[in-house]
Amino acid sequence: MEVIVAENIGFCFGVKKAIDAVYEQVQTGGNIYTYGAITHNEEVVKDLEKKGVRVIESSKELAQIKEGTVIIRAHGVSKDIYEQIRSQNLKCVDATCPFVKRIHDIVEKESATGRQIIVVGNAGHPEVEGTMGWCRTPAIVIESLEEAREFSYQGDKELFLVAQTTYNYNKFQDIVEIFEQKGYNVSVVNTICNATEVRQTEARSIAAKVDMMIVIGGNHSSNTRKLYEICMQECENTYFIQTLDDLHLELPESVRLVGITAGASTPNNIIEEVQNYVRINF
């Protein structure tokens, strides 16, 4: 089978940096905690677990820790969590991705000047929660085009739109347009990270020319889900798999060209396994 593998796949620079930070801390010894899993990739999390790294899921769990190092992952956290770590006299290693940190700085500054922050992204996603935790006044989350269409604002503040770093770029543009058409006084900063934009554009163009598309990534990875969504629009034969084990396909003869892309947390060895399998067995 002929296969096109996207070039912009595997761990993005932010996730890579965060994972390296954890391995570096492991060398120094002591109790190491990450605030949330460092990546959605289960194999990496398991390997770190073997090395004694523990994952904290909430500020309540953080409150139980008496000593050690807390590593903040690439998604970032709200301002409160930094304060809690400091007040508990724990060491903090901040591996927040610089693209996420930039959003924190923007929303903190803009909300302080009295603007109403709107985060275009998935409500409940840790990055979005963290971003909201840097706003001086409560932020609003818009997840979809429908929510943007239904949105109505009665206040008198200027609206200020930012996006989750992994949001679908075209969808973000459409949402901005809806806000402008509604006649709101709105400022926009496109905070979708470059790695995401490049990955999505490449995935779209590959999906448009292949007969079948495979998207590899963790079940909980929102950037992989978005890639799947994008590829599905271009190629209805799109499959979302976590590892090679999920790939049980009977291919119709008409399939001659297969495309492969992967989310930001997918390690290279899984991508390679899948592409070799498809090349040889299909």
- Residues 152 and 172 sit within 8 Å (Cβ to Cβ): no
Which residue, 12 or 159, has its beta carbon nearer to ligand F3S? 12
Q: Find, among 153, 160, 194, 200, the residue nearest to 176 by Cα.
A: 160
23: exposed, middle or buried (Cβ count in 10 Å: 0-12, 13-18, 19+): middle
Q: Which residues bind ligand F3S (CB under 6 A)?
A: 12-15, 74, 97, 99-100, 165-166, 193, 195-196, 264
Which residue, 76 or 259, has its beta carbon nearer to ligand F3S? 76
Task: List phi, psi (to 5°) of 253.
Answer: -60, -30
Beta carbon of residue 172, minimum distance to ligand F3S (angstroms, whole number)? 14
Instruction: State which residue has the least CB distance to ligand F3S.
Output: 14
Active-site residue identified among 127, 129, 197, 202: 127
* CA distance linking residue 54 with residue 64, whole number of Å: 13
Beta carbon of residue 231, minimum distance to ligand F3S (angstroms, whole number)? 17
Which residue, 112 or 189, has its beta carbon nearer to ligand F3S? 189
Which residue, 70 or 193, has its beta carbon nearer to ligand F3S? 193
Q: How crowded is residue 31: how many other Cβ atoms within 10 Å of its Cβ? A: 15
Is 127 part of the annotated catalytic residue set? yes
Beta carbon of residue 222, minimum distance to ligand F3S (angstroms, whole number)? 10
Beta carbon of residue 180, minimum distance to ligand F3S (angstroms, whole number)? 25
* CA distance linking residue 133 with residue 166, whole number of Å: 18
Catalytic positions, please?
127
